């Protein structure tokens, strides 16, 4: 098979016009944001983070045992993954983590980009700090209950949807009905066939998929929905229920962020916890000294719910405010990799971490990319555009092309004058031979003038039509690379590229520099 070579172009995020001012200010290390994070992520900053992050041998034992249990469902575990799981027992091993929902078939491309950012960060750290070990981790959002956000994906311009009546934490869902989606696909994709037809739950299937796609890079996938891991949450749950601690701290920080001119990304509640059991994940609210589970008949008094937190912490599920803290409690983690919105909501959480004396991780914006296949690259070059110019609006680009296409007005005036001179000579000749032929010559001259006029119009119309075709090609190219006007990575799926370029993931690993903080354009040559 022919190896696809790539031309790589890098752009400043701000130049793409696709990222918020908050992210632009963070990447430029604007002073207004500095109090909302601990250290800006540079290779040197990791040294201080390594010194600050404490993680006991007991915590490592719990983590290792949980991962061993979770990976028991994976057949033929990749030796690099097993090695990384075992390395987590060592006091000099740390993680770099990203997290995402359990979108079917990996969902939009940025899911893949997040994971490769984590993998490449660990590679760079390993090269710079050889006395430590660094493990890339994907945190599965198994406790998320927003099924409508994960049950669909787009492939080759067509949408596919998994229908299910199940409720509660999506990681616990069985896979009934996903076989119908597999059967609808235009071809079989072995990684997904194997995972979705042979796994018990969506969490197991997602772990199998990430293991197949990224196992060779040592990626470790973790599910926080685990009784032993949840024991670390017990003191947080108690303070959450009795003091509304995180709500107070996040509200203070959010107000400060807004004062600095930035919008809050997430909304804090008085109790940032859900009650969790099979088929159910609902908010816990306090009413008249009782704790109720919304949309159910379940309620507890204070003593009962605090006892439940001690005996069964796995029945509590952190929301978006407390999930980051939970993650940092159970992992020897140095950095969290997220999209623009995620990085911003972590800014709201710094005081929560300080209060619990947990090291606030380095916040890294995941790599973003646009992939231009050979066909689209050819169209781009025919239009005389560069990859960077594609980020301009269609109207800007149309104006630009119009300037390039501008021709002088089509006119056959010179030919008209030549014909006029010729007919004058013919008229003179007619006069000398037979004066009655002069009218016939004049009639023929008029016909010739009319014919020229018609040809002039046809040539102008053909030129305009050619320009319209160019504008249509531009419109089609923009839609392919910016579907619905948004970044390709927010819409297109891994399979839409990997089906034609099996080396796509390897190409991303080669192209992404996670600490450079540049937008990456990969162009097939």
Q: Tens of pLDDT along 391-407? A: 999 888 987 887 776 65
Q: Residue 476: what pLDDT? A: 95
Q: What does the alpha-carbon distance between residue 98 and residue 213 come to, in Å, rounded to a whole number?
A: 16
Q: How confident is the model at residue 1 (pLDDT cuts 50, 70, 90)?
A: very low
The pLDDT of residue 495 is above 80: yes
Tell me the β-bridge partners of 108: 493
The pLDDT of residue 438 is above 60: yes
Question: 332: closest CA among 51, 88, 85?
Answer: 88
76-102 mean pLDDT: 97
69-93 mean pLDDT: 96
Q: What does the alpha-carbon distance between residue 221 and residue 198 come to, in Å, rounded to a whole number?
A: 18
Q: Residue 469: what pLDDT? A: 84
Q: Which DSSP state fits 74? A: S
Can you give the residue ranges of every domain in the chain?
6-234+316-368+487-524, 375-485
List all residues 6 or more positions away from 295 whose beta carbon is below 8 Å from its beta carbon. Answer: 282
Distance of CA 37 to the CA centre of its chain: 22
Tell me the β-bridge partners of 310: none
Mean pLDDT, the chain, integer: 93
Q: SS3 of 500, please?
A: coil
Q: Residue 129: what pLDDT? A: 98
Question: 145: closest CA among 322, 299, 346, 318?
Answer: 318
Write out pLDDT tens, residues 158-185.
Answer: 999 999 999 999 999 999 999 999 999 9
Q: Residue 408: what pLDDT? A: 55
Q: Residue 398: what pLDDT? A: 81
Q: Residue 190: what pLDDT? A: 95
Structure tokens at 106: 């990996």
Phi, psi for 76 (deg, rounded to 5): 55, 60
Q: SS3 of 525, please?
A: coil
Q: Rg for the chain (alpha carbons), in Å?
A: 32
Q: How confident is the model at residue 212 (pLDDT cuts 50, 70, 90)?
A: very high
Q: SS3 of 102, please?
A: coil
Write out pLDDT tens, residues 247-291.
Answer: 999 999 999 999 999 999 888 999 999 999 999 999 999 998 899
Q: Residue 407: what pLDDT? A: 56
Q: Residue 2: what pLDDT? A: 52
């Amino acid at each position: 098979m022919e190896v696809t070579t790539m031309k790589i172009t890098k752009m400043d995020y701000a130049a793409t016009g696709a990222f918020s001012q908050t992210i632009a200010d963070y990447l430029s290390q604007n002073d207004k944001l500095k109090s909302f994070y601990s250290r800006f992520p540079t290779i040197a900053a990791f040294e201080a983070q390594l010194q600050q992050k404490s993680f006991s041998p007991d915590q490592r034992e719990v983590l290792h045992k949980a991962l061993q249990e979770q990976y028991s469902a994976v057949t033929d575990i990749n030796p690099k993954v097993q090695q990384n799981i075992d390395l987590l027992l060592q006091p000099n091993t740390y993680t770099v983590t990203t997290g995402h929902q359990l979108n079917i078939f990996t969902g939009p491309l940025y899911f893949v980009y997040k994971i490769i950012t984590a993998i490449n960060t660990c590679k760079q750290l390993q090269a710079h700090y050889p006395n430590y070990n660094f493990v890339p981790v994907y945190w599965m959002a198994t406790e998320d209950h927003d099924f409508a956000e994960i049950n669909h994906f787009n492939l080759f311009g067509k949408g596919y949807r998994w229908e299910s009546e199940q409720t509660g934490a999506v990681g616990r869902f069985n896979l009934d009905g996903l076989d119908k989606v597999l059967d609808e696909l235009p071809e079989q994709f072995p990684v997904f066939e194997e995972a979705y037809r042979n796994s018990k739950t969506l969490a197991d299937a997602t772990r199998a998929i990430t293991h197949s796609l990224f196992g060779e890079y040592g990626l470790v996938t973790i599910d926080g929905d685990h009784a032993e891991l949840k024991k670390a949450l017990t003191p947080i749950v108690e303070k959450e229920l009795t003091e509304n601690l995180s709500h107070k701290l996040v509200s203070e920080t959010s107000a400060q962020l807004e004062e600095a001119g930035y919008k809050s990304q997430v909304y804090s509640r008085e109790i940032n916890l859900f009650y969790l059991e099979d088929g159910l994940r609902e908010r816990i609210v306090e009413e008249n000294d009782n704790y109720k589970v919304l949309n159910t008949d379940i309620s507890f008094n204070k003593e009962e719910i605090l006892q439940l937190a001690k005996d069964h912490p796995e029945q509590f599920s952190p929301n978006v405010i407390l999930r980051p803290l939970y993650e940092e409690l159970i992992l020897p983690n140095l950095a969290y990799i997220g999209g623009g919105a995620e990085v911003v909501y972590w800014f709201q959480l710094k005081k929560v971490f300080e209060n619990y004396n947990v090291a606030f991780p380095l916040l890294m914006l995941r790599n973003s990319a646009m992939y231009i296949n050979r066909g689209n690259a050819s169209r781009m070059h025919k239009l005389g555009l560069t990859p960077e110019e594609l980020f301009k609006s269609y109207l800007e680009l149309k104006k630009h092309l119009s300037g390039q296409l501008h021709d002088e007005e089509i006119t056959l005036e010179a030919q008209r004058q030549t014909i006029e001179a010729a007919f004058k000579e013919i008229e003179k000749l007619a006069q000398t031979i037979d004066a009655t032929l002069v009218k016939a010559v004049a009639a023929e001259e008029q016909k010739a003038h009319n014919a020229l006029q018609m040809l002039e119009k046809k040539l102008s119309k053909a030129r305009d039509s050619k320009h319209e075709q160019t504008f249509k090609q531009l419109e089609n190219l923009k839609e392919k690379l910016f579907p619905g006007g948004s970044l390709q990575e927010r819409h297109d799926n891994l399979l839409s590229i990997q089906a034609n370029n099996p080396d796509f993931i390897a190409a991303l690993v080669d192209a992404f520099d996670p600490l450079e903080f540049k937008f990456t354009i990969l162009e097939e040559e």
